[in-house]
Copies of this chain bind each other. A is one copy, B any other.
Amino acid sequence: MKKKAVVLLSGGLDSTTTLAIAIDKGYACCAITFRYGQRHETELECARKIAAHFGVRDHVIATIDSRAFGGSALTDDIDVPKNRDESEMSDGIPVTYVPARNTIFLSYALAMAESLDIRDIFIGVNAIDYSGYPDCRPEYIAAFQNMANLATKAGVEGDAFTIHTPLIDLTKVEIIKRGLELGVDYAMTCTCYDPDTEGRACGRCDACLLRLQGFAQNGIKDPVAYR
């Protein structure tokens, strides 16, 4: 029987590459996607199509009660910052930071994993081009894994969980290169923090700039539509 994994799938470039890597490593993958008061549903549509494309067996779209959150440009009415070029990208922790987001996401993934008797969880966090989010760093992931193995029946019984972060020390250029090697069709993915009603990317938020730079440095045109 194939070993199984739960993959956190947002519908973006990083999580889609992570799913492709997990499958390439031989895991039969389940996926979990979150609706958490994002300002657009485009991401969720992307996640559904990607999960179907990759033959994911169980794909849960879990709704997070967004009243727990606050103070983020991704969930509130704060404007997503737009830049002329990479030199304007934010330093430090950006306004798109959502309090404890990855902690809530990983906690759900942990619950799903334990209830399905799965011990491997994949998340596409990245500490290089990570835009300053504290919950994308290796020391955070290590602390979460340690906590998870003290929190759960499986962990306490010595059947430990592993949080896999295959992108953690890759640049965006390297992530895209790896995905292309694995045959990922990036036209399916959605990266922009602020797409228009037709799902077209803005091309100017931090996420778009990093993505465009990554494709350019791979000598390839980004296949998604920009407005």
Contacts and interface: CB of A to CB of B under 8 A. Distances in A.
Q: Give the number of copies in the complex.
A: 2
A158 to B, nearest CB: 12
Interface stretch (A48-56, A137-145, A179-187): A137-145
Given A70-B115, A99-B115, A100-B107, A134 B153 contact: yes
Contact of A114 (B63, B100, B108): B100
Contacts of A32: 68
A67 B60 contact: yes
Contact of A134 (B63, B134, B139, B156): B156
B71 A99 contact: no
B68 A111 contact: yes
A225 interface: no
A152 interface: yes
A200 to B, nearest CB: 30
A97 interface: yes
14 contacts: A62-B68, A97-B153, A99-B111, A100-B107, A100-B110, A100-B151, A103-B147, A104-B108, A134-B152, A135-B151, A140-B151, A143-B147, A144-B147, A147-B147
